[in-house]
């Protein structure tokens, strides 16, 4: 006998076998204007700018980890035709930074706030960083033990923690489409056609066999929406364009798209997804570092993923950043350069204090094509890992410069 609860959702039970990913593939993505993404992006930008300042002043990157942050939502009154922000958002910077080296002072607080303001100006059209956001600095100097890692003057720094990370390649078609959907909706071309579409976009992809379902939540900017009728008209126009775009790109089967499924006609402002600034952080939701996307741009719910956030961590000793990104880089190289592989997973494990180019464990799991013998690829895989570890200093410098995207 089936319960009434069982009738409310679709159920599926299947056997998983090696080389055949599970039939349900549900990646999630938090887009440009999502509060969690905002925190990740700004704190990573602060780390990059601090790293460049340390190099400029001292010739090396001093200890810092700007990886604890909170964007506390403001308070807004949403209205058709344009609402108001009644209370600004508050951005809190937390964790550790080096304020002095010898007798020289580094203006960490000023760098952090100026970096945040610049990011808001360049990425969120309707956020005035001088009016809509307050800034609270809660950065302190690091512990003596962790600061000492930076003062040992070794060629390659020791790991700041005993930790592990995992990366994989390639992305599935579903994962790639989820990533591309957010980029499409937040492209300059799309915003020119639909200025009412806010930057706060969240995408969930759900595949069952050959059928793909995309569910999108996207904030609308109330100044461009004159009425409830106008909201649903523009929503239908966007939904139709998005369905056509997705259908052209999904080649495995059929695709369905849903947009702002909480909406209810006849309830006025309460029944639609309106914001004043294009992000729900103006009133509805706060954000934190580490609750957003992994370093490949999505949250892949059916894959092994690293537990640490990479954003804001220092790029020369913090394994939570370095190995997080490096595992994806190694997995991608192995997949591209070694023939006969369907999937590649790479794990790196550190011991605190040990050089970052000498992980305690470097492990690789592969899903090979039929007939491929692992002994034929063992040495090519090993060579790629050793090459990446031998060049880890150049890799860390690229992280410090911000030339490797981790969001």
Indicate the helix (H) or strand (E) that contains 127: none
Residues 317 and 263 in one domain: no
* Residue 251 tokens, joined: 């080649």
Residues 282 and 296 in one domain: no
> Rounded to whole angstroms, how far apart are CA atoms 116 and 118?
5
Please name the residue ranges forming H helices in 21-153: 35-58, 108-123, 144-151
* Residue 4 pLDDT greater than 80, yes or no: no
Return mean pLDDT, the chain: 93
What is the pLDDT, as a whole number, of residue 22?
Answer: 44
Task: Characterise 260 by phi-psi region: left (phi > 0), alpha (psi -120 to 50), beta (else).
Answer: left
In a domain, 370, yes or no: yes
Please identify which residue in the block is written with the tokens 């369907």. Answer: 342
Residues 227 and 189 in one domain: yes
Burial class (CB in 10 A: 0-12, 13-18, 19+), 102: exposed
* Residue 318 tokens, joined: 């913090």
Hey, is 272 helix, strand or coil?
Answer: coil
Residues 319 and 254 in one domain: no
* Residue 16 pLDDT greater than 70, yes or no: no
132, 85 Cβ separation under 8 angstroms: yes
* Residue 99 tokens, joined: 């304020």
- Using the Cα atoms of residue 348, residue 351, residue 355 and residue 356 in order, give the sign of their dihedral: positive
Confidence of residue 21 (pLDDT cuts 50, 70, 90): very low
DSSP state of 63: P
Closest C-alpha to 296, from 256, 345, 255, 349: 345
Final residue of a structural domain among 84, 118, 151: 151
* Residue 326 tokens, joined: 């490096």
What is the pLDDT, as a whole number, of residue 9?
Answer: 53
Residues 246 and 302 in one domain: no
In a domain, 383, yes or no: yes
> Rounded to whole angstroms, how far apart are CA atoms 226 and 209?
41
Q: Give helix then strand counts, H and E, for the chain.
A: 9, 18
Residues 253 and 268 in one domain: yes
Tens-digit pLDDT profile for residues 52-74: 999 999 999 999 999 999 999 99
Residues 252 and 351 in one domain: no
Residues 210 and 126 in one domain: no
> Rounded to whole angstroms, how far apart are CA atoms 207 and 251?
13
What is the pLDDT, as a whole number, of residue 319?
Answer: 95
Query: Which range of residues forms the domain containing residue 241?
Result: 20-29+173-287
101 to 43, 95, 104, 314: CA distances (angstroms)? 22, 18, 5, 17
What's the CATH number where 390 sits? 3.30.300.280
Please identify which residue in the block is written with the tokens 């599935």. Answer: 172
Final residue of a structural domain among 241, 266, 287: 287
pTM (two decimals): 0.93
Residues 215 and 188 in one domain: yes
Please name the residue ranges forming H helices in 258-377: 319-337
Q: Kindly give, in sequence order, each residue whose CB lies less than 8 Å from that of residue 316, ignoring residues fewer than 6 positions away.
A: 61, 150, 157, 322, 356, 396, 400
Residues 139 and 51 in one domain: yes
Percentage of residues in the chain with pLDDT exceeding 70? 94
Write phi, then psi, for 282 (nearest 5 degrees). Answer: -75, -15
Residues 47 and 103 in one domain: yes
**Strand-strand pairing, 361-368 and 341-349:** antiparallel
In a domain, 10, yes or no: no
Tens-digit pLDDT profile for residues 307-359: 899 999 999 999 999 999 999 999 999 999 999 999 999 999 999 999 999 99
* Residue 131 pLDDT greater than 60, yes or no: yes
How many independent structural domains does the chain possess?
3
In a domain, 14, yes or no: no
What is the pLDDT, as a whole number, of residue 8?
Answer: 54
What's the CA angle centered on 310, arms 118 and 354, to 5 degrees?
130
What's the CATH number where 96 sits? 3.30.300.10
274, 231 Cβ separation under 8 angstroms: yes
Tens-digit pLDDT profile for residues 101-118: 999 999 999 999 999 999
Write phi, then psi, for 25 (nearest 5 degrees). Answer: -130, 90
Mean per-residue pLDDT, 166-194: 97
What's the CA angle centered on 369, arms 340 and 209, to 5 degrees?
125
What is the pLDDT, as a whole number, of residue 3?
Answer: 47
Mean per-residue pLDDT, 262-278: 98
What is the pLDDT, as a whole number, of residue 277?
Answer: 98
What is the pLDDT, as a whole number, of residue 17?
Answer: 43
DSSP state of 357: T
What is the pLDDT, as a whole number, of residue 147?
Answer: 73
């Amino acid at each position: 006998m089936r319960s009434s609860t069982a009738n409310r959702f679709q159920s599926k039970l299947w056997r998983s076998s090696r080389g055949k990913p599970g039939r349900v593939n549900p990646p999630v993505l938090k887009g440009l204007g999502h509060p969690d993404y905002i925190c990740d992006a700004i704190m990573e930008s602060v780390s990059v700018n601090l790293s460049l300042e340390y190099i400029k002043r001292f010739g090396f990157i001093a200890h810092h980890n700007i990886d604890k942050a909170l964007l506390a939502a403001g308070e807004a009154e949403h209205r058709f035709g344009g609402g108001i922000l009644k209370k600004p958002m508050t951005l809190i910077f937390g964790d550790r930074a080096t304020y002095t080296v010898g007798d020289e002072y580094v203006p960490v607080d000023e760098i952090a706030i100026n970096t945040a303001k610049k990011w808001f100006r360049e990425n969120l059209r309707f956020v005035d960083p001088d009016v809509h956001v307050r800034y609270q600095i809660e950065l302190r100097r690091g512990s003596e033990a962790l600061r000492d890692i930076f003062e040992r003057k070794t060629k390659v720094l020791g790991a700041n923690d005993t930790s592990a990370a995992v990366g994989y390649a390639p992305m599935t078609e579903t994962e790639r489409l989820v990533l591309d959907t957010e980029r499409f909706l937040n492209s300059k071309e799309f915003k020119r056609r639909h200025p009412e579409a806010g930057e706060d976009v969240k995408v969930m992809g759900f595949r069952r066999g050959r059928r793909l379902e995309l569910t999108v939540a996207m904030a609308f900017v109330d100044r461009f929406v004159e009425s409830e009728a106008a909201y649903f008209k523009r929503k239908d126009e966007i939904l139709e364009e998005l369905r056509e775009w997705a259908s052209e790109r999904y080649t495995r089967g059929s695709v369905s798209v849903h947009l702002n499924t909480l909406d209810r006609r006849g309830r006025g402002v309460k029944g639609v997804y309106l914001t004043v600034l294009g992000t729900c952080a103006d009133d509805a939701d706060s954000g934190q570092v580490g609750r957003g996307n992994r370093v490949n741009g999505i949250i892949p719910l059916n894959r092994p993923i690293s537990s640490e956030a990479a954003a804001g961590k220092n790029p020369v000793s913090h394994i939570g950043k370095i190995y997080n990104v490096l595992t994806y880089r190694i997995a991608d190289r192995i997949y591209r350069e070694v023939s006969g592989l369907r999937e590649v997973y790479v794990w790196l494990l550190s011991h605190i204090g040990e050089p970052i180019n000498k992980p305690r464990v470097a492990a690789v799991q592969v899903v090979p094509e039929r007939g491929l013998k692992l002994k034929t690829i063992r040495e090519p895989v090993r060579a790629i890992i050793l090459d990446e570890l031998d060049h880890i200093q150049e890799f860390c410098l690229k992280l410090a410069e911000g030339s490797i995207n981790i969001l």
